[in-house]
A and B are shown apart, each in its own frame.
Chain A
Amino acid sequence: MTNSATMPQPVSLGRRLKRFMADRPLIPLIILLVILVLILQVLRPGIVNERWIANTAKFAIPLAILAGCQTMTMLTGGIDLSVGTVATMSAFIMATQIVNQDPTVAFILAMLPAVLIGLVNGVGVGVFRVHPLIMTLGTSLIGTGFLQVYQRTVIASGAKIPDFLNWLGTGLTYGFPNALFLFVPVAVLIVFTLNRTGFGRLLYAVGDNERAARLSGVRYWQVITALYVISSLLAGITGLLYIGLIKAPSLSLAEPLVLPSVAAAVIGGTSIFGGRGGYMGTIVGALILTVLTTLLTILHMPEGGRRILFGFMVLFVTAAYLRIIEDK
């Protein structure tokens, strides 16, 4: 212990590996993804083709955007469990309002609850300092209540999926899913915001050491409120994309995506304690989960088993990252 400062000791392979994982989490993740695809190919020879890749991308994109919400909130040490409800709300409102409203009006109406929920989340977390988990869980409960009331008012008018969302959700252009037209700008924007703008740096700063950030003059509540509103807006947009993909508006449309979105961000190397991580890892994490889901479906694993597996993955990865950070 005493001479470790003066004498450079040989670093063991395990530690080097750990450090490597911590510095470049993307490489092991991509290796894992390739392994999963290979297993899939071995189990079902010929499954991996152009159509399969396009299909996987289509299902991974909504998950990746929602996981983006989790990534950004996790960077500040938070989490946003209301994304499922927000996405469902905007999708449901869009599908029912488009029947007798102008598309623009329907879009604005669909985004309204997203902004409101984001705002309430932000104020609750930023001003009142409620734990984000509890806060977002509460607003999602309230949101679901509103949706149930709303559903009864539109039961007569029916619902339809706008052609544009249909095109965006399921269409292909030269073999590429059209959802990429939405996803690429969103992803670029998130990565750019996190790495190159002041707001992104504030998110990292707040998550890394909130007290230090405050003392250096960061307006905590403003950052947090803006963050949760952005997260909710992204979730709302995902809802629109997802309804174009699933094509069946229901009151629990995007709910099954919440847990995988958390898992994707955690697997992608974003620390749930804040301050560490990035969006690129999350995208690979979302791809891994989508491929894994296909794999588990082929192996006839029921929904319950999948949830158990995802839960353990979150716990295992978090514990592993904790060890890596402690070692540094």
Chain B
Amino acid sequence: MMRFLRRQGWVAGLLALLVFLFVLTKLIQPGYGSGDFGSLARAVLPYAFAVAAQTVVVIAGGIDLSVAAMMALTSVTAASMMNGASEEYAYFVVPFVLAMGLVLGALNGLLIVVTRVPDIVVTLATLFVLQGAALLVLDAPGGAAAEWLKATVVGTMPIPGLPDWADAWVPKALVLLLVCLFVIWIPLRRSRLGLSIYAIGSNELAAFRSGVPVARTRIVAYALSGLFAALGGLSLTISTGIGAPIPGPYLLASVAAVVLGGVALGGGKGGLLGPIIAVFVLRLVRTDLTLLAIDPNVTAIIEGAIMVAVVMFGAFITIRGRPAGATP
């Protein structure tokens, strides 16, 4: 029963919860329309990339504590590079920052493989390092973003053959998110590499004995996580127009959404869809709290409490789901 719930029904249940929340939102605020949905999609963007970054690593049986710091570093790098530069220069900045995320993420994986220190400690150390590097790049919020980049997340995407009223519900930010995620995720999931990532998360020893290059796969998983985090950092710069060197609350949010999205913290299970829906659920809860005219600081408390509760619940499920007698 528990197994079925986690495997099949989880994502469907989550989707139902999301729909329920949308209905609730509409009830609280009858005027909730396409414009509000667009701003929701924009707010979700950095969170969704953070969650994607966390998901890849968690599926591979690890955890990445440096996600938020990586986003901060890539965000300030992009913002300070684009500051005062021409519009065309941004065509160089975007691939550069993405490559930076990829390399730094791979470095995370490499450190884990080489030092054999558990990933939670290594990424804690790189969290400090990346945070420091972000402060070196920009010691206060600042920088700028190219106008054409900012335009990629504002407004809606005109889709031919779709009536205007439906078009209004397709914000560019959402399209950008889905395209970025699925261009990377779908080919990966279908490939040998994707299978290897699931394999090392599920049972590292068994994967190793079946000939999976465990070390290489782990490095690739962290590199992908770095890439997603860089996308998150870029989207932060794009949507705010500046870069901030202090990491946002993305680490806890990413872990909470991963757990809520049905990805087992032990690794080897789950997909990307669940966590992404979970991000929308968590953000929509925040929107609802704001619409109910609750003090934003109190909202932060409630949000934090929900995330902690979700993580506690996930940990509890993990103990329950473990076969009796297995070592923790």
Contact = CB atoms under 8 A, between A and B. Distances in A.
B115 interface: yes
A314 interface: yes
Given A131-B120, A137-B252, A311 B304 contact: no
A139 B111 CA distance: 29
A221 interface: no
A145 B297 contact: yes
A135 interface: yes
Contact of B135 (A135, A211, A259, A304): A304
Contacts of A309: 132
Given A211-B328, A315-B121, A305 B311 contact: no
Nearest to B327: A211
Interface stretch (A28-36, A42-50, A122-130): A122-130
Interface stretch (A8-16, A103-111, A146-154, A191-199): A146-154
A146 B305 CA distance: 11
Interface stretch (B122-130, B175-183, B197-205, B212-220): B122-130
Interface residues of B, number: 48
A307 B137 CA distance: 13
A308 B128 contact: yes
A78 to B, nearest CB: 11
A306 B132 contact: yes
B315 interface: yes
A134 interface: yes
B312 interface: yes
Given A133-B65, A133-B124, A272-B121, A308 B328 contact: no
Nearest to B318: A129
Given A141-B304, A149-B298, A314-B128, A128 B121 contact: no
A128 B129 contact: no
Give the one of B115, B265, B327 with max A CB within 10 A: B115
A87 B136 CA distance: 27
Interface in B61-82: 63, 65
Interface string A302-328: 111111111110110011001000000
A298 interface: no
Contact of A129 (B115, B116, B120, B315): B315
Contacts of A144: 300
B304 A307 contact: no
Given A148-B297, A211-B327, A307 B311 contact: no
Nearest to B249: A141
A304 B304 CA distance: 27
Give the one of B63, B117, B122 with max A CB within 10 A: B117
B128 A311 contact: yes
A276 to B, nearest CB: 14
B107 to A, nearest CB: 11
Give the one of A130, A152, A318 with max B CB within 10 A: A130
Contacts of B263: none
Interface of B: 63, 65, 111, 115-118, 120-122, 124-129, 131-137, 139, 245, 249, 251-252, 255, 265, 295, 297-298, 300-301, 304-305, 307-308, 311-313, 315-316, 318-319, 327-328
9 contacts: A128-B316, A141-B249, A141-B300, A142-B304, A146-B301, A149-B295, A307-B131, A312-B129, A315-B122
Interface of A: 120, 124, 128-131, 133-135, 137-139, 141-142, 144-146, 148-149, 152, 210-211, 259, 262, 272-273, 302-312, 314-315, 318-319, 322
Would you list the 4 A-B pairs with minimal beta carbon distance, nearest first?
A: A307-B132, A311-B128, A304-B135, A304-B136
